[in-house]
Amino acid sequence: MKKHSLLKAVAAAAVVATAVLGYQSPEFVNTDQVAVTSTGDVRGLIPAQPIEADQDKVTKAFKTQETDLRTVSTTEMADGSVVRQQQFIDDVPVFGGEIIQQRTKDGKLSSALGKVTKAGTDATFPAGGEEKAKEAATKVFLGKATSADKVWFDPTLADKAGESKAFPAYRVKVEGGDDSGESIVRASDNTPVLNWSLHNDALNRVVCDANKKVIDSNSQARCGTNIAASRAEGGAASGVADVNSVFGFFGDTQTLYSKINYDLTAQIGVDHGDGKGKALRGTVRLCKSTGCPWTNAQWSPSDSQMYFGEGVSTDDVTGHELTHGVTGKISKLVYSNESGAINESLSDIFGEFMDLTNGSSDDTAANRWAIGEGSSLGVIRSMSNPESKKHPGTYKGTNWYAGTGDNGGVHTNSGVGNKLAFLTVDGGTYNSQTVKGLGLDKGIQLWWKVQNLLTASSNYADLGRAINSGCTSLATAGTAGFTTADCTEVGKAVKAVKIG
Ligand SMILES: [Ca+2]
Ligand SMILES: [Ca+2]
Ligand SMILES: [Zn+2]
């Protein structure tokens, strides 16, 4: 299907709906209610129905009786909720085969939008096809192929012409290079049939180089006002390694947050008036009169940007600092005592989630859950074993800091939240509790929910309640495959670190 201008697409809508996509049952299509996106996708709207009949109506309208529609997420909105469903054939997802239901506050279906494939082919997935698909994708994007997942691919669902029929393919992710991206590789001949960059248009990055100048007040080193850009989105690489590494890690952090539909640049970016717009901004290679290089990194809420000393700009440290910006927007956890320790912990958690998923060459088993590896500081914290760095893993247990230094030990007592994150993702035995880990994909969803359920004054008991309740909600909704059994494990992890 060709791209239309919005006006032309409206006129063509009814024809396209039946002739090309063919997913709508006429009984539910009212031409007055056909919505068309700017890319010309046609979406049928279904009038409100009682909830018990809703799924039947959707299945019928989209003619998906022979395939499965599975609910993958439910998001509460001001006006009700949004239920996202994914089409499956033989337990394999159909790329782009998704239906979005809008439900009212009392749970009634108000609309169903989306596209599904009409049929799969008889073709099967070849043995060992993943490896060949990875090879093909790394000829499209530079970097390391980090995953290859089976998908059914129907070209008409990706705005391409042809018959609505799905064939076996692999969705391959290539990361670690500046041009990270994803490819759909056809299984029958290993041809990449669709490619897209993981650095989407929304991403805007500007990195400035202080070039080891002594600047004691960070706000005198603002990127775009006091110091000009050394590297900006779409521009050439810098000759300074720290500039390029921060630039790349900004992109990796945007990618991590895009997994939870959070546009980092839009949410925490800033325009410093240099004509480069709202961007994730950072100044690297700062020196202080107390030392050069400055051996720290910082998110400045007042400047909405990051500051780094030379050599501390690793992936996890960058993700850590940017997450302070996110926390400042969502839970707004106060940076002292227990709420400050949880604030610090969320930064370590999302920083390490980014580190673990960005495909960098140092993603070894030994570095898993270490914070700061590869930096001039070395490993400063261990999330899997906080005690090894003299931090507590147990609430008010060994190494718990009860003094007033460091805002009440925020960089020490964060060990409890860090240990909890480690247990929820990887599992393990701690304080006589044996926890089965949920894996990273669920971990990212779960901890994002936690970020959204905490308040400025949350303490560790609140964190225990939030993570249990957040998990229950995810399991009830079936989001990202969460089950009540998963929540039993989360409950054990909460008990293990003694916050519930
Ligand atoms: Ca990494
Ligand atoms: Ca790390
Ligand atoms: Zn921090």
- In this predicted model, which residue has the larger pLDDT, 37 or 173? 173
Contact yes or no for 421/345 (Cβ under 8 A): yes
- Give the catalytic positions in this structure: 321, 411
* Residues by chain with Cβ below 5 Å of ion ligand 3: 347
Q: Where are the beta strands (DSSP E) in 235-382?
A: 280-286, 297-300, 305-309, 370-371, 381-382
Query: What is the CA 260 to chain-centroid distance, rounded?
Result: 4
Which of 4-13, 101-110, 289-298 reaches the highest mean pLDDT?
Answer: 289-298
Q: What are phi and psi of 52, to 5 degrees?
A: -65, -20
* Residues by chain with Cβ below 5 Å of ion ligand 2: 316, 355, 370
- Distance of CA 283 from the midpoint of ligand 3 (Å): 17
pLDDT digits (tens, 9 = 90+) for 413-436: 999 999 999 999 999 999 999 999
Ligand nearest to the CA of 351: 2
The partner residues of 147 in beta bridges, in order of sequence, read 173
Euclidean distance between CA atoms 268 and 286, whole angstroms:
22
Q: At what angle do helices 440-453 and 337-357 cross, to 10 degrees?
A: 150
Q: What value does the mean pLDDT take over residues 298-322?
A: 91
Contacts (Cβ under 8 Å, ≥6 apart) of 139:
192
Q: Annotate 195-238 with DSSP letters as a single string.
A: EEESS-TT--EEEEE-TT-B-SSGGGG-BTTTB-EEEETTSPPP
pLDDT digits (tens, 9 = 90+) for 226-274: 999 999 998 999 999 999 999 999 999 999 999 888 999 999 999 999 9
Q: What value does the mean pLDDT take over residues 358-362?
A: 93
User: Where is 68: in which H helix or E strand?
Assistant: strand 68-77
- Distance of CA 93 from the midpoint of ligand 3 (Å): 38
**pTM value?**
0.63
Under the banding of pLDDT at 50, 70 and 90, the label for residue 107 is confident
- Distance of CA 353 from the midpoint of ligand 1 (Å): 9
Q: What value does the mean pLDDT take over residues 311-330?
A: 92
pLDDT of 21:
25
Euclidean distance between CA atoms 497 and 98, whole angstroms:
39
Contact yes or no for 108/51 (Cβ under 8 A): yes
Q: What are phi and psi of 290, to 5 degrees?
A: -80, -15
Ligand nearest to the CA of 323: 3
- Distance of CA 428 from the midpoint of ligand 2 (Å): 19
Ligand nearest to the CA of 324: 3
Residue 78 in tokens: 């001001």
- Distance of CA 161 from the midpoint of ligand 3 (Å): 50
Residues of the chain above pLDDT 90, percent: 58
Under the banding of pLDDT at 50, 70 and 90, the label for residue 110 is low
The average confidence (pLDDT) of the chain is 82
Ligand nearest to the CA of 371: 2
Contact yes or no for 24/64 (Cβ under 8 A): no
The closest of 238, 370, 388 to 314, measured between CA atoms, is 370
Euclidean distance between CA atoms 316 and 294, whole angstroms:
18
pLDDT over 80 at 203, yes or no:
no
Neighbours of 299 (CB within 10 A): 21
Q: Angle CA(156)–CA(160)–CA(161) in degrees, nearest 5?
A: 85
- Distance of CA 414 from the midpoint of ligand 3 (Å): 10
pLDDT over 80 at 176, yes or no:
no
pLDDT digits (tens, 9 = 90+) for 397-416: 999 999 988 889 999 999 99
